[in-house]
Each structure stands twice: as C-alpha cells, then as structure tokens.
Chain A
Amino acid sequence: MTTVPKLRAWLLTEDFTSARHARAHQAYLSWLRFSSNPLAFGGLAVIVLLTLIAALAPLVATYDPFAQDFSRALQAPSAAHWFGTDELGRDVYSRLVWGARTTLYIAILVTVIVGPIGFVIGATAGYLGGWVDTVLMRITDIFLAFPSLVLALAFSAALGPGIENAVIAIALTIWPPVARLVRAETLTFRHSDFVVAAELQGASTPRILFRYIVPLCAPSVIIRLTLNMASIILTAAGLGFLGLGAQPPMPEWGAMAAQGRQYLLDAWWLTAVPGIAILIVSLAFNLLGDGLRDILDPKHG
C-alpha cells in the first residue's frame, strides 16, 4: 500500500539522486500533463484499442472475414451480425476488425519510410546549406506543388493498384513537409556552441547529424508524424475508395465504403460503418498529436 505514494513522492521530488532519477521525474511530469488532457488521453486510448484489435483480430472477429454466404447477403445489423452483412454475405463487423490491420499496416509502414527520409534530407539540407540546401529544397518544393492525394493517385496509377504500391505512393507525397520541418529545426541549432564545439573536435558530418542534430529535432518530428498518421489514414482510405489501394477481397475500410455505395439505399450500414471507423481513428490520431504538441512543444501550446 505504501509503495505507490512513496513512488509518487520519489518521482515528484526535485532533490535528484541520479541522472536517471531526474529523467524519471521529467517523464512523470510529462505524463501528468498529458493525462490531465482528457481529449488527448481519449485519443491514445482509441489508438491502443485499435492496436489491440488489429493484433488480436482472429480472436475479436466473430466470423471469417472472407467467408461468403449468399443466403445471408445484405442483412441488417442484428445480434448475430452486429454491423450487418455485405452483398456477398460476409460479416461486416469481422471485416472491420481485420480492416484495422490494413489501416495500421499502411499508417505504420508509411511513417517508418517517411521519418528517416525526412530526417536525412532535412538535416543534410539545413546543416550543409549552400547549393545542397538549394537543390534539396527545390526538389521538396516540386513535390509540395501538387495536392497530396492527386500526386498519390498519379503514383499509384503508374505503379498499379495494390496495398504496397499505395504505401509507396503515399510515402512519396508525405515526406516533403517532414523534410522542411527538420531543416527548419536544424537551422536553429546549426550555429549553437555545442555543434561548433563538436566540429572543432573533428567530428564527422554524419556523426554531428545523427548524434547532435537529429535527437534535438525528434520531438517536433514525432508530433508531426503523429498528426500525419491521420492524413495518411484519410489518403489511404481515399485511394481505397477509388479502387487503387488494397484489392478485394482484402478488407480495407475505404474500399468497403466504396463497395457499399452500390447498395446505399438497401444497406446503408455497408458505407456508414467503415466511414465511422475511419473518422474515429483519424480523430484519435489528431487528438493525440495535439496533446503531444502541448507537452513536447510548449511554445505552440
């Protein structure tokens, strides 16, 4: 019983006994600030839930998402089929659950691709400056000149439909703002004393970039990537809606909504349910991103 208050007191005290203690104190304060924001906390809860659903899809789903049964086609929501059935008699709830995997797969893969690209291009441009900066930023501007969905459409048209190609297409359109952000952050540290000191000690350019610059840019990039998750999910759903993302019979929320449109008047749930799922998840990422910004980046709070 007494260990919890003790731990709290240890975390809250400012008489630090070690560096680790100070770090734990910082983390605990951030957590307190974060958990006092109910909206951000709700966003995190939804994302954790989504991750659990995606991980445990075979257990959470009540039916096989691919099993067709024409005798049960287009049934309204009921106790047996919580969100009804589609035109092939498949259970919409189970397809929604498996679709969570597709959504997370796309969002995570795009982020994992875009983060490093943004870091390398942005930090290189900002740190080296001169013509390297000019060339890299011009390329970034060219990509930024296109509205992102339109560019993603063009890339997926060229690469062909499919989920991996959708990931590549989205990644190609999402990296420029990240690179811009990293560059701007790098410029603020470029002439700091600690960077100059490292240069004078003969540290190589990659070492300075990865040991000194990148860690300092990380917080704002993490916020950016979290907020980006929402737009990645919306873009992926848009591609799926236009038939360029995941291909049938793979369950994907955007494609599910698109297929449901043909039966809109008879079976509204086919379109309504996946759309609400997309809305909730992208709302959760937006709320979490806003909450993280309040903690990690107080100047924009």
Chain B
Amino acid sequence: MGAGGMALAGAGRKLATSIGVIATTLFGLLALTFIIGRMVPADPVLAILGDTFDQAAYDRVYQSLGLDRPLYVQFFQYVQNIVQLDFGQSNVTKNMVASDLARVFPATLELAILAIFIGTVLGVPLGIVSAVRRGTWVDHLGRVVGLLGHSTPIFWLGTMVILIFYAGLGWIPGGGRIDLYNDGLVDGPTGMLILDAALAGEWEVFASAIHHILAPALLLGYAAMAYLSRMSRSFMLEQLGQEYILTARAKGLAQRPIVWKHAFRNIRVQLLTVVTLAFCGLLDGAVLIETVFGWPGLGQYLTAALFYADMNAVLGSVLLIGLISIVINLLSDIVYRFVDPRTR
C-alpha cells in the first residue's frame, strides 16, 4: 500500500467529487428548464385543443398533462421523460422533439468542430507570437483582431459577408449546407455531410459541402480565434516572466526551444480550458450564424421554435446545448488529468 494506495484513494475521492458536481449540475439543468417551461404565460392545454372545446375536454387534457398534480410530482415526471429521451412533441413540425434534434444536431456539430479547429489553429499561435514579440506589429495586429472579434455583432458580420461575397462577388453560395442538385445523394452514418461524403467517395458532394460550410465556419472560427489569441497571449506573458525561463536564457538556450519546449508545455492545461470555453461560447454564435446562413442545424431549429413559441422544441434544444457544455467540460477535465502531471 503506502504512497501508491494513498494516491489511488485521493484520485477516487476526486473522481467521486467530480461525479457529484456533474450530477448536481445536471439536476440543476433539468430544474432550470422545468422552471422556464412553467414560466410560460401561454396555457399548454389551449395549445393542444385549439379554439373550440368544452370544459370536460379541457379538464381531461389538463389531467392527462398532469397539471393537476403537485409541482414536485410534475418535476419528477419531467425528469423521467427526459431520461427516456422524451422531450415531447413539437407543435410546428409535429415530430417528436428528440427525433428532430437528432436530425439537426449533426449539422451544428460539423460547423462547430470546424470552427473551433480554425479558431485554435489561428488563435493560439497568434497569441503566443504576440506575447513573444510584445510591442511589435504582430502584437498590435493581434490586439486589433482580438478587440474586433470581441466587439463585432456576429449576425451583422455574417449578413455583410453574404452581401459582399455572395451578392457582390458570387464567391460563396447563398446559404444552406449543400447545392440543391447534390442534396440527398449522401445519407451517411454520422449526419455530418463532409464526413459522410468522404466516406461514400462522393467527391462532388464533398466539394459542395465544403464550399457551403466555409463562410459560416470561418466567421464562427474568427470569434473563437479572437478570444483564444487574447487568452494565450496573457498565459504566455505570465510564463515568460517566470524565473525558469530566465534560467533557460542564462544557460544560452535559443528562443525557439524556450518558447515551445519550456513555456508552451506549461500553458497547455490553461489552453485546454479556454478552448473548452470557446467551444461552449461558439454554440451561442452558432445560433445566430445558422439563422443568417440558413444552416439547418440546432440554432436554426431553436430560433424557428422561438418564433412559433414552440416550447417543447425550445426547451429540448436548450437542454441539449446545456448537456453538450457539461459533456465538453467533463472531457476537458479528463484530458487535463493526462496532460498535467500535478493533477494525477
């Protein structure tokens, strides 16, 4: 036993704590969406019955919805439904919300993954170079990019991109995921069109899908890049001021290994955290960008549901987005344990 057993017990306790935290957050997520659902001033019975009904019919529906029971029983029922992936029926599409979500979600995932990739690949090096060459033109450029990214309304930028690059120059398609004549050719396992087309070897569909995703993904990626470059700059500056860097410089190590071998190793964990946060923030932008570009994903589904006051669909989408955030945070927590030896 000894030290090893102690460490194992410590790790077990940590795991138990983080499972407890996730469980309470999940519970809170459900409670919050339940409360939001009850806040709606519209009568859910009228949504089902329409205009013409008698009192008996009203009472019957009222009871079948469980509205006559105490709130905690209703909440319990709600949790039970959610666990069975029953989010209720959409008033607009008349499908079950769960199957609608399964249909639209891959489109958003595809967009978000590409965007976070673009944001990370461009943003992190920009931030690091800005920190290393503090005060030079690179640093100023990085600062301008970051500030604009923080301050630009993304729905407006998207509209302007459509105006200039679609209407003006004709470089990008007008919206959607794919050209009409390529639509429906690929019905793959993942629902992510680019991946499915590549798997099926349909290269024309693949090219069309790439062509369509480029503008929205770059815009979303830009917002993520602004945040990531700013954060990685400040992490890097903090490391470069440390004494071990001074030691490395004193023993004559070149700039490149100092930055990439020494300092970068120590900011990886922090970077992982902010990339996670950027991904969650990106889902916000996705709601607006999908609406602007007619991208048939979760964001567009959510805004359409909002427009028609389709509460089941709204709450289902919001719950799904909350769940994604929790899962992403959990994943980053797990990866962190592998990357950072101190947390083992």
Which residues of A come within 8 Å of B, CB atoms?
Answer: 138-139, 141-143, 145-151, 153-155, 157-160, 230, 234, 237-238, 241-244, 254, 257-258, 261, 264-265, 268, 271-272, 274-275, 278-279, 282-283, 286-287, 300
Which of B153, B284, B303, B314 lies in contact with A275, CB distance below 8 A? B153
User: Which residue in B31, B280, B318 is a CB contact (below 8 Å) of A153?
Assistant: B318
Q: Is the CB of B284 within 8 A of A278?
A: no
Which one, B156-164, B178-186, B265-273, is touching chain A? B156-164
Contact B156 A279 (CB under 8 A): yes
Give the residues in chain B near A282, CB-CB below 8 Å. 150-153
> Interface centre among B283, B303, B318, by most A CB within 10 Å?
B318
Within 8 A of A (CB), among B293-328: 302-303, 306-307, 309, 311, 314-315, 318, 321-322, 325-326
A160 CA / B156 CA spacing, docked (Å): 24
On whether the beta carbons of B28 and A142 are closer than 8 Å, the reply is yes
Q: Using known A-B contacts A138-B24, A147-B284, A279-B151, determine if residue A242 contacts B291 with beta carbons closer than 8 Å.
A: yes
Cα-based distance from A287 to B147 in the complex (angstroms):
8
CB-nearest residue of chain A relative to B33?
A154
Partner of A238, one of B36, B39, B288, B314: B288
Whole-angstrom distance between the alpha carbons of A191 and B318 in the complex? Answer: 41
Complex A-B: 23 CB contacts under 8 Å = A142-B29, A145-B326, A150-B283, A153-B303, A154-B315, A157-B309, A157-B314, A158-B37, A158-B311, A160-B41, A234-B151, A237-B153, A241-B155, A257-B155, A264-B159, A264-B162, A264-B163, A268-B163, A271-B156, A271-B159, A275-B153, A283-B147, A283-B148
A286 CA / B315 CA spacing, docked (Å): 33
A278 touches B153 (CB 8 A): yes
Residues of A contacting B: mostly: helix
Known: A146-B32, A146-B318, A241-B291. 5 other contacts (CB 8 A): A141-B28, A142-B31, A158-B39, A264-B159, A272-B160
Residue B287 interfacial (CB < 8 Å):
yes
- Smallest beta-carbon distance B239→chain A, Å: 15
State whether B153 touches A242 (Cβ < 8 A): no
Q: Which residues of B contact A272 (CB under 8 A)?
A: 160, 163
**Closest residue of chain A to B302, judged by CB?**
A153
Docked CA distance A148–B283 (Å):
10
Cβ of A271: which chain B residues have Cβ within 8 Å of it?
A: 156, 159-160, 163
User: Is B167's beta carbon under 8 Å from chain A?
Assistant: yes
**CB atoms of B150 and A230 under 8 A apart:** yes
- Residue of A148, A149, A158 contacting most chain B CB atoms (<10 Å): A158
With contacts A147-B281, A149-B287, A278-B153 known, is A142 near B32, CB below 8 A? yes
